[in-house]
Amino acid sequence: MSSFKQPLTLALLPLAVMLTACGQQGAQNKGAMPPMPVSVVKMSAADVPVSSEYVGQAVGSREVEVRARVSGILQKRAYTEGASVKSGDLLFQLDAAPYQAAVEQAEAALKLEDAKLIRAQQDSDRVLPLFKENAVSQKDRDDAVAALASAKASVAAARAALKSAQINLGYTRVTAPISGVTSQETRSEGSLVQPGDASLLTRISQLDPIYVKFSLSDNDVLKTERLAAAGKLRLPEGGRYAVTLKLPDGSRYERQGHINFADRVIDPSTGTSAARASFANPQGTVRGGQFVRVELSGAVRLQTLVVPQKAVLTSQLGKMVWVVGKGNVVEARPLQIGDSTSNGFIVESGLKAGDLVITDNLIKLRPGAHVVPKEVAANVDASAAAKG
């Protein structure tokens, strides 16, 4: 029996070794991760419209401080605070009695001077013929001429005094110098107002058209000029950017504006230059003093790459993306991004046309991992494409 068992044991030993090896290999295969399916976008160069956004503040296209031009007691306010007024509408009425009296006094003074002028003219008409006949002396003739000239000057002065009195009387009616929206009154009825800085009565803002002031970063201006000079950026013809507004509630203002001022001088305290856009505002939708978002569009980046925003990660070394390399192996690719677009970020450096950028499962990826790429359109949501 013993001689029979020994050959059987030797015969079964290779089979046991083979089974053990197969078990170990199966265990190793069981622990290995299979290639992960990922969505990728193939980079391709194209002309890309770009836009810039800035914080702006709306102001009236004309802002006027209404002040008293003569002193007097404020008798009444003739407008509703906050209401719209038209140019020439009565806003305030000052006590006109003293100025009416001054006008009447000036009228009387003018009549007196007119009478003196008539008398001087009559004297001159009598003396000059007599002087030609040597019936009066040279002195009489000179006195008559001088008296007539003096009377004419006195009439002119009296007429000017009357005009001044009438102007001052008109100033007792404080009218709107422009059409626009009024503000709160600063002086109530019964107050004594006088010309000068302290005589502010109210303000009027013309809100149609309305202006929006904003500031351009010096860095943005230099970057734009550099890209345009290098042939990488096409600016709108004549510098006529399309200007749109986002209101404080996030809605977009329905009317498009245009830039009507751009300062060429940089403010050294802020590193920005002032700019201003004008918008039609017939319904008063945009209110003076509102903070809005100003969007400038019309420029085009020429033959540039755009990487989807969701594909960009932030690492300790800066921005990066995962790309599919040779053999479907994952590689980390650092890159520099520029302005944002509707489809992602403009790539300044780090990628080239033909690169496959991974857009999903980003957290699970590691350098050297094998993946199964599925290409999707650049402007299609990768997760939606995967579900479809």
Is 305 within 8 Å of 311 (Cβ atoms)?
A: no
Whole-number average pLDDT of the chain: 87
Cα–Cα distance measured from residue 369 to residue 69, given in angstroms and rounded to the nearest whole number: 82
CA 324 to chain centre: 43
At 46-74, the pLDDT tens digits run: 999 988 899 999 999 999 999 999 999 99
Interacting residues of 28 by C-beta distance below 8 A, sequence separation 6+: none
Q: Cα separations (Å) of 262 from 206, 239, 272, 294? A: 21, 11, 11, 14
Mean pLDDT of 91-112: 96
Mean pLDDT of 302-317: 91
> Is the confidence at residue 7, as pLDDT, over 90?
no
Q: What percent of the chain is modeled with pLDDT above 70?
A: 88
**The pLDDT value given to residue 379:** 57
Mean pLDDT of 181-206: 88
Cα–Cα distance measured from residue 289 to residue 203, given in angstroms and rounded to the nearest whole number: 14
> Is the confidence at residue 213, as pLDDT, over 90?
yes
Confidence of residue 380 (pLDDT cuts 50, 70, 90): very low
Stretch(es) of the chain classified as CATH 2.40.30.170: 51-60+206-301
Mean pLDDT of 138-146: 93
**The pLDDT value given to residue 388:** 37
Cα–Cα distance measured from residue 330 to residue 322, given in angstroms and rounded to the nearest whole number: 6
> Is domain 63-94+173-203 annotated with CATH 3.40.50.300?
no
Class in CATH terms, 36-46+304-387: mainly beta
At 224-237, the pLDDT tens digits run: 899 999 999 999 98
> Is domain 97-171 annotated with CATH 3.40.50.2300?
no
Stretch(es) of the chain classified as CATH 2.40.420.20: 36-46+304-387
**The pLDDT value given to residue 13:** 34
Say which CATH superfamily domain 51-60+206-301 falls into. Efflux pump adaptor protein, beta barrel domain (2.40.30.170)
Long-range contacts made by residues 257-266, C-beta under 8 angstroms, separation at least 24?
A: 257/212, 259/296, 260/211, 262/216, 266/218
At 340-364, the pLDDT tens digits run: 888 899 999 999 999 999 999 898 8
Confidence of residue 376 (pLDDT cuts 50, 70, 90): confident
**The pLDDT value given to residue 277:** 96
> Is the confidence at residue 9, as pLDDT, over 70?
no
Tokens of 91: 């806003």
At 14-42, the pLDDT tens digits run: 433 343 344 444 434 444 568 999 999 99
Stretch(es) of the chain classified as CATH 2.40.50.100: 63-94+173-203
**The pLDDT value given to residue 220:** 87
Cα–Cα distance measured from residue 323 to residue 352, given in angstroms and rounded to the nearest whole number: 11
Stretch(es) of the chain classified as CATH 1.10.287.470: 97-171
Which pTM does this prediction carry? 0.70
Tokens of 336: 């520099």
